[in-house]
Amino acid sequence: MKRILADGTARLVALWAAFIACETATQIAFKAASQAVEGLSFGWGFLQVALSTPTLWLTVLCYIATFILWMAVLMRMDLNRAFPLTALGYVTVPIFALALFGEELPALRIAGITVITAGVILIGWKE
Protein backbone atom coordinates (compact mmCIF):
# COMPACT_ATOMS: atom_id res chain seq x y z
CA MET A 1 0.00 0.00 0.00
CA LYS A 2 2.81 2.43 0.88
CA ARG A 3 4.45 1.70 -2.48
CA ILE A 4 1.24 2.59 -4.35
CA LEU A 5 0.89 5.79 -2.32
CA ALA A 6 4.52 6.68 -2.96
CA ASP A 7 4.09 6.04 -6.71
CA GLY A 8 0.94 8.18 -6.75
CA THR A 9 2.72 10.97 -4.89
CA ALA A 10 5.69 10.75 -7.23
CA ARG A 11 3.39 11.01 -10.25
CA LEU A 12 1.62 14.02 -8.78
CA VAL A 13 4.93 15.75 -8.06
CA ALA A 14 6.06 15.00 -11.62
CA LEU A 15 2.80 16.46 -12.99
CA TRP A 16 3.30 19.56 -10.84
CA ALA A 17 6.87 19.99 -12.02
CA ALA A 18 5.76 19.66 -15.64
CA PHE A 19 2.88 22.09 -15.07
CA ILE A 20 5.11 24.75 -13.49
CA ALA A 21 7.72 24.25 -16.23
CA CYS A 22 5.08 24.74 -18.96
CA GLU A 23 3.51 27.71 -17.18
CA THR A 24 6.95 29.32 -16.86
CA ALA A 25 7.83 28.52 -20.48
CA THR A 26 4.57 30.14 -21.60
CA GLN A 27 5.40 33.43 -19.88
CA ILE A 28 9.01 33.40 -21.11
CA ALA A 29 7.83 32.68 -24.67
CA PHE A 30 5.32 35.54 -24.39
CA LYS A 31 8.14 37.90 -23.44
CA ALA A 32 10.32 36.66 -26.31
CA ALA A 33 7.41 37.01 -28.76
CA SER A 34 6.67 40.53 -27.52
CA GLN A 35 10.15 41.64 -28.51
CA ALA A 36 9.27 41.00 -32.18
CA VAL A 37 6.36 43.45 -32.04
CA GLU A 38 7.91 46.00 -29.72
CA GLY A 39 7.22 49.52 -30.89
CA LEU A 40 4.51 48.51 -33.38
CA SER A 41 1.05 50.00 -33.08
CA PHE A 42 -1.74 47.48 -32.72
CA GLY A 43 -3.25 46.81 -36.11
CA TRP A 44 -2.85 44.61 -39.17
CA GLY A 45 0.95 45.01 -39.32
CA PHE A 46 1.24 44.13 -35.65
CA LEU A 47 -0.82 40.97 -36.18
CA GLN A 48 1.17 39.95 -39.27
CA VAL A 49 4.47 40.28 -37.41
CA ALA A 50 3.10 38.55 -34.30
CA LEU A 51 1.65 35.64 -36.27
CA SER A 52 4.91 35.15 -38.14
CA THR A 53 6.93 35.01 -34.92
CA PRO A 54 7.90 31.42 -33.99
CA THR A 55 7.91 32.21 -30.26
CA LEU A 56 4.24 33.21 -30.48
CA TRP A 57 3.44 29.71 -31.73
CA LEU A 58 5.65 28.24 -29.03
CA THR A 59 3.57 30.24 -26.54
CA VAL A 60 0.36 28.73 -27.94
CA LEU A 61 1.81 25.21 -27.68
CA CYS A 62 2.93 25.87 -24.11
CA TYR A 63 -0.56 27.10 -23.21
CA ILE A 64 -2.08 23.92 -24.60
CA ALA A 65 0.41 21.77 -22.67
CA THR A 66 -0.27 23.79 -19.51
CA PHE A 67 -4.01 23.24 -19.95
CA ILE A 68 -3.57 19.47 -20.37
CA LEU A 69 -1.27 19.23 -17.35
CA TRP A 70 -3.63 21.33 -15.23
CA MET A 71 -6.50 18.98 -16.05
CA ALA A 72 -4.30 16.03 -15.09
CA VAL A 73 -3.43 17.69 -11.77
CA LEU A 74 -7.09 18.49 -11.00
CA MET A 75 -8.08 14.88 -11.68
CA ARG A 76 -5.80 13.89 -8.80
CA MET A 77 -6.10 16.81 -6.39
CA ASP A 78 -8.73 19.10 -4.88
CA LEU A 79 -8.92 22.54 -6.48
CA ASN A 80 -8.74 24.33 -3.12
CA ARG A 81 -5.33 22.75 -2.54
CA ALA A 82 -4.08 22.73 -6.14
CA PHE A 83 -4.82 26.31 -7.14
CA PRO A 84 -2.63 28.06 -4.57
CA LEU A 85 0.29 25.92 -5.70
CA THR A 86 0.14 27.64 -9.09
CA ALA A 87 1.78 30.57 -7.29
CA LEU A 88 5.08 28.79 -7.86
CA GLY A 89 5.01 30.51 -11.24
CA TYR A 90 5.61 33.75 -9.33
CA VAL A 91 8.87 32.18 -8.22
CA THR A 92 10.11 30.63 -11.46
CA VAL A 93 9.15 33.34 -13.95
CA PRO A 94 11.14 36.18 -12.31
CA ILE A 95 14.18 33.92 -11.99
CA PHE A 96 14.07 33.01 -15.67
CA ALA A 97 13.33 36.63 -16.63
CA LEU A 98 16.49 37.63 -14.81
CA ALA A 99 18.56 34.86 -16.42
CA LEU A 100 17.23 35.19 -19.98
CA PHE A 101 16.29 38.86 -20.35
CA GLY A 102 18.46 40.54 -17.73
CA GLU A 103 15.41 41.87 -15.89
CA GLU A 104 15.97 43.21 -12.40
CA LEU A 105 15.20 41.21 -9.30
CA PRO A 106 15.35 43.70 -6.42
CA ALA A 107 15.51 42.68 -2.76
CA LEU A 108 11.83 43.44 -2.12
CA ARG A 109 10.79 41.10 -4.95
CA ILE A 110 13.13 38.41 -3.62
CA ALA A 111 11.46 38.81 -0.21
CA GLY A 112 8.06 38.41 -1.87
CA ILE A 113 9.23 35.28 -3.68
CA THR A 114 10.42 33.90 -0.34
CA VAL A 115 7.01 34.57 1.24
CA ILE A 116 5.23 32.91 -1.69
CA THR A 117 7.49 29.87 -1.41
CA ALA A 118 6.77 29.62 2.34
CA GLY A 119 3.04 29.90 1.63
CA VAL A 120 3.18 27.14 -0.98
CA ILE A 121 5.00 24.89 1.49
CA LEU A 122 2.35 25.58 4.16
CA ILE A 123 -0.53 24.96 1.75
CA GLY A 124 1.02 21.78 0.41
CA TRP A 125 1.85 20.41 3.85
CA LYS A 126 -0.36 17.49 4.81
CA GLU A 127 -2.22 17.91 8.07
Say yes or no to pLDDT of 41 above 90: no
pLDDT digits (tens, 9 = 90+) for 64-115: 999 999 999 999 888 888 888 888 899 999 999 999 999 999 999 999 999 9
pTM above 0.95, yes or no: no
Q: What is the DSSP string of 63-87?
A: HHHHHHHHHHHHHHS-HHHHHHHGG
